[in-house]
Amino acid sequence: MNLSKADPEEEPKLWEIIPLNKYSRPSKPLEESIRLGFHNFIQKFIKPSESNFDLIKKISLTAIPKRSLDRIVPDINYSKATEELNTEILKYLDPDLTENNIIFFVGTPFSGKEDILTKLSLTNTWNIIADPTPDQIFSLDQNFIDTVLEKFKKPSVIINFEKWFFKHSDGFNLIKTILNIFWSNPCKIVIGVDSWTWSYLIYAIQIDSYGKKALSYRPFEAERLQIFLDQLAHQKMKREIVFRDSKTGNYIIKPNIDTSRGKKKRKFVDNYLRNLAGYSNGIPLLAWSIWRNSLRKVPDDEFLEKNLDEDESEEISKMNKTSQILWVLPWNKMNFPLLPDVLRRTDLIILNTILIHKEIMEDLLFYLLPLNKEEILKSVSILVKYGLIEKHEKIWKITVLSYPKIRERLNSEGFLVDEF
Amino acid sequence: MSFNNQEGTILQDGNVSIIRNLSFLEVIYIFFLIFIAWLILRIFKKVFPWIAERVSGTKRLYVLALMPLFRIVVIIITILLLFPLILVPTTENLIAVLGAIGIAVGFAIKDYVSSILAGIVYLYEMPYQPGDWIEISGIYGEVKSIGLRTIELLTPDDTIVRIPQLKMWDTPFFNLSGGSKELQCKTNFFLQPKHNASQAKQILYDIAISSPYIQIKKPIDIIVVEKEFSTLYSIKAYPIDSRDQFKLITDLTIRGKTVLITKGFQFSNVPTLIKD
């Protein structure tokens, strides 16, 4: 499929860079919100299961092998997003370097911010200013500040500004000092900040007042997701790929066999994609993970047992000759991690602390929180048990699939979330 | 001498008795009704807090606030069912019953009934709800349940205190949370007067903003007041959940003291004479 043939008026731009104040998360369809509300209410009175990933394990028997999956849903390439960001940034950066030019690029968790900004620095041969160590942050290390002072005279990029501070009374000094240096000198600098850190630092140090502009990319609503998943599917696969609901046989992403249908195709957006966009908060990597989990080789028994009419059988056999059909697990059969009610406020505080720092070293968790070590370890073991966090090289992170639920829960409990 | 009819007992002087003649089955039925009402009230007392603990955020307060409403509905329905069963519903009888109740209330159970009346007035005014933090006569705690006669407060040291509704009727009380999750907390630091006040203020602000218990979306104020022998710093801030107020105050106090001492600030040793 060649998407470049499509009418630009028909399709939204996939990676669109927008000012942060125009950022709006796609909402869940009303019926899904009602279904979830009812489901969650019932779950409150049911003893939580040991693991929320049971169903995913069970259905994995019919799942597509990883090798095929990597061809059908390959890794996300953020090059186009970098190009768009580059074009947008150049509008705001003063070429003569007569004033401070601080542009913030705010990315949600799993947004690919690191990839985008690394590529941006490579494209423009700009400096990347390395992150400080925790010791350098707490001690306001002068050597580190000198290094930054030396580097920022040329156009520079800070990729992970969330790693430049700690939610601690001694954790703000470095970013305050650095931002004041940037603010009071001519410079050209792009600072990448995680959305949770951004929201927190707006309250803590009014970070937004230092920048000329804060940008992000537009979240992927259902229409964009459709283009995105379709493009991914045809990156490595030569055959036309059709995605259908494994229970009803309805098209999730319609085929693009003849051009007369091709234009109309984009107007059709299945409810599955609306649910996917709403649940994933418009974050492509999150939608990508769910999509990979939901693809099946064969349809449900229910669909196979259904007596297909002649036209339908003919269509399927015709389609099988020209394209490959992949079956998508219905949305209501997806088993997403549930945040159990056994979670205490301590657990929520730990989740919130991890998200505000994007990820955190185990030792720092003990240092930052006014909780004893045993209490933290107990909480961490509960969070691991329910698949909410995972550890890589002594660094705690939120798991991809549980992120939307964690965000929802923290929000309903009154914690600060990434709101713009 | 007396004669029985269906409505009641006709006395010798021709008047009709207030109380109906009750058969054994009717007496059983009355006790059964009272038992069922009592059982429902007991279930409410267990179920509402149980549900409240399972819903998040402000929904918890809404669930708790529904409890007294449901209780009064059950009580009214029970009285309405019992009244025609026990009493002969005539105007004269009603007046007589009310008169008798008036005398009983006037002499014997005045305070008890006043408390119940105060409980009924509460249903109209709703000056406090379960989940609110209130202070009355020096007792501070979270309203756990509201009965018609008493309210139950859970104090910070985990003690249940029952306060008659009558007390709330004639004593000023303070509702610090007012039906919301928000509750302002004050954490005081008394420092020796000779120091850099703006630095101390900034330190305390950073301490407050980095507390995991703080509701960052609400204002955080550092009030500085010069006292006779010390400078008083008050951090005024809100916890995320009113139940975390003591955790917040403890966290701010511990970290505030640690950092201020590390930075060379000295705490006042002289007792403050002016009451805060």
Asked if A299 and A247 touch (Cβ cutoff 8 Å), the reply is yes
Q: Is the pLDDT of residue B261 over 70?
A: yes
Size of interface A-B (CB pairs under 8 A): 58
Q: How many CA atoms lie within 13 A of A404 on its CB side?
A: 23
DSSP code of A181? H
Confidence category of residue B9, pLDDT binned at 50, 70, 90: low
Q: Is the pLDDT of residue A137 over 70?
A: yes
The proportion of chain A whose per-residue pLDDT surpasses 90, expressed as a percent, equals 52
Residue A257, pLDDT score = 43
Q: Is the pLDDT of residue B203 over 50?
A: yes
Query: Which chain A residues are closer than 8 Å to B49 by Cβ?
Result: none
Select from B57, B209, B210 the Cβ nearest to the Cβ of A413: B57
Out of A174-188, A215-229, A401-415, B40-54, least confident range? B40-54
* Residue entry with tokens 């493009």: A231
For residue range A328-342, list pLDDT tens digits in order: 998 888 877 777 777
Query: Which chain B residues are closer than 8 Å to A365 by Cβ?
Result: none
Largest CA distance in chain A: 77
Contact B255 A169 (CB under 8 A): yes
Residue A347, pLDDT score = 94
Write out the residues of chain B at the interface with chain A, using a CB-CB cutoff of 8 A. Answer: 54-57, 59, 181, 203, 206-207, 209-213, 215-217, 240-241, 244, 247, 250-251, 254-255, 259
If one counts every other C-beta atom within 10 angstroms of the C-beta of residue A171, the result is 20
Query: What is the pTM for the complete model shown?
Result: 0.79
| Alpha-carbon span B191 to A218, nearest angstrom | 50
Query: Which chain B residues are closer than 8 Å to A379 by Cβ?
Result: none
Identify which of B136, B138, B125 has the alpha carbon closest to the alpha carbon of residue B68.
Answer: B125
Residue B131, pLDDT score = 82
Q: Where are the beta strands (DSSP E) in A182-305?
A: 187-194, 213-217, 240-245, 251-253, 295-296
Please tell me which of A111-120, B1-10, B107-116 the model is most confident about, judged by mean pLDDT. Answer: A111-120
Which residue of B53, B199, B209 to mutate against A (max A Cβ within 10 Å)?
B209
Decide if A169 touches B, using CB distance below 8 A: yes
Contact B212 A167 (CB under 8 A): yes
Confidence category of residue A55, pLDDT binned at 50, 70, 90: very low
Supply A366's token pair.
């003990």
| Alpha-carbon span A97 to A211, nearest angstrom | 15
Confidence category of residue B158, pLDDT binned at 50, 70, 90: confident
Select from B54, B209, B240 the Cβ nearest to the Cβ of A341: B54
DSSP H or E segment with residue B194? none
Residue B132, pLDDT score = 86
Identify which of A221, A250, A234 has the alpha carbon closest to the alpha carbon of residue A331.
Answer: A250
Overall average pLDDT of the B145-163 stretch? 84
Torsion, Cα of B193, B197, B203, B209 (10° steps) = 110
Query: Which chain B residues are closer than 8 Å to A200 by Cβ?
Result: 216
Residue A111, pLDDT score = 95
Overall average pLDDT of the A344-350 stretch? 92
First to last CA, chain A: 37
Confidence category of residue A46, pLDDT binned at 50, 70, 90: low
Task: Give B197 or A69, the one with higher predicted confidence.
Answer: B197
Overall average pLDDT of the A218-226 stretch? 92
The proportion of chain B whose per-residue pLDDT surpasses 70, expressed as a percent, equals 82
For residue range A284-326, list pLDDT tens digits in order: 999 999 999 899 888 877 776 666 666 666 777 766 667 788 8
Task: Give the pairing of strands A156-158 and A240-245.
Answer: unpaired
| Alpha-carbon span A322 to A356, nearest angstrom | 49
Residues 6+ apart with CB under 8 A from B184: B176, B236, B237, B238
If one counts every other C-beta atom within 10 angstroms of the C-beta of residue B190, the result is 18
Contact B212 A352 (CB under 8 A): yes
DSSP string, A122-165: HHHT-EEPPPPPHHHHHHT-HHHHHHHHHHTTS-EEES-GGGG-
Lay out the sheet containing A323-328: strands in order across: A251-253, A240-245, A323-328, A295-296
Residue B109, pLDDT score = 67
**B125 φ/ψ angles, rounded to the nearest 5 degrees:** -85, -35
| Alpha-carbon span B217 to B229, nearest angstrom | 34
Decide if A353 touches B, using CB distance below 8 A: yes
Query: Which chain A residues are closer than 8 Å to B251 by Cβ?
Result: 370
Asked if A102 and A212 touch (Cβ cutoff 8 Å), the reply is yes
Overall average pLDDT of the B223-232 stretch? 92
Residue A261, pLDDT score = 41
Q: Is the pLDDT of residue B48 over 80?
A: yes
**A110 φ/ψ angles, rounded to the nearest 5 degrees:** 65, 25
Select from B54, B55, B244 the Cβ nearest to the Cβ of A345: B244
* Residue entry with tokens 């928000």: B182
Q: Where are the beta strands (DSSP E) in chain B?
A: 3-4, 9-10, 133-136, 139-146, 150-154, 160-164, 173-175, 185-191, 221-226, 231-237
Query: Which chain B residues are closer than 8 Å to A341 by Cβ?
Result: 54
| Alpha-carbon span A308 to A302, nearest angstrom | 12
Task: Give A334 or B245, the one with higher predicted confidence.
Answer: B245
Decide if A345 touches B, using CB distance below 8 A: yes
If one counts every other C-beta atom within 10 angstroms of the C-beta of residue B157, the result is 7
Q: Is the pLDDT of residue B271 over 70?
A: no
Decide if A370 touches B, using CB distance below 8 A: yes
Select from B206, B217, B259 the Cβ nearest to the Cβ of A172: B206
Residues 6+ apart with CB under 8 A from B146: B67, B68, B119, B122, B128, B129, B130, B152
Query: Which chain B residues are closer than 8 Å to A46 by Cβ?
Result: none
Length of chain B: 276
Select from A172, A369, A409 the Cβ nearest to the Cβ of B212: A369
Overall average pLDDT of the A342-350 stretch? 89
Overall average pLDDT of the B123-137 stretch? 80
Confidence category of residue A264, pLDDT binned at 50, 70, 90: very low
Overall average pLDDT of the B48-57 stretch? 75
Average pLDDT, chain A: 85
A353 to chain B: closest CA residue: B212
Contact B55 A167 (CB under 8 A): no
Overall average pLDDT of the B254-268 stretch? 94
Identify which of A207, A194, A212, A187 has the alpha carbon closest to the alpha carbon of residue A127.
Answer: A187
Overall average pLDDT of the A356-381 stretch? 93
Identify which of A252, A241, A248 has the alpha carbon closest to the alpha carbon of residue A287.
Answer: A252
Out of B19-23, B207-211, B248-252, B253-257, least confident range? B19-23
A168 to chain B: closest CA residue: B210
Beta-ladder partners of A361: A395
Residue A406, pLDDT score = 94
The proportion of chain A whose per-residue pLDDT surpasses 70, expressed as a percent, equals 85
State the amino acid at position A174 in one-letter form: L
Which residue of B210, B241, B250, B259 to mutate against A (max A Cβ within 10 Å)?
B210
Q: Which region, left, alpha or beta, applies to residue B131 given φ > 0 means left and ψ of -120 to 50 means alpha?
A: left
Select from B54, B212, B255 the Cβ nearest to the Cβ of A353: B212
Q: Is the pLDDT of residue A5 over 60?
A: no
Contact B55 A44 (CB under 8 A): yes
Residue B118, pLDDT score = 72
Average pLDDT, chain B: 82
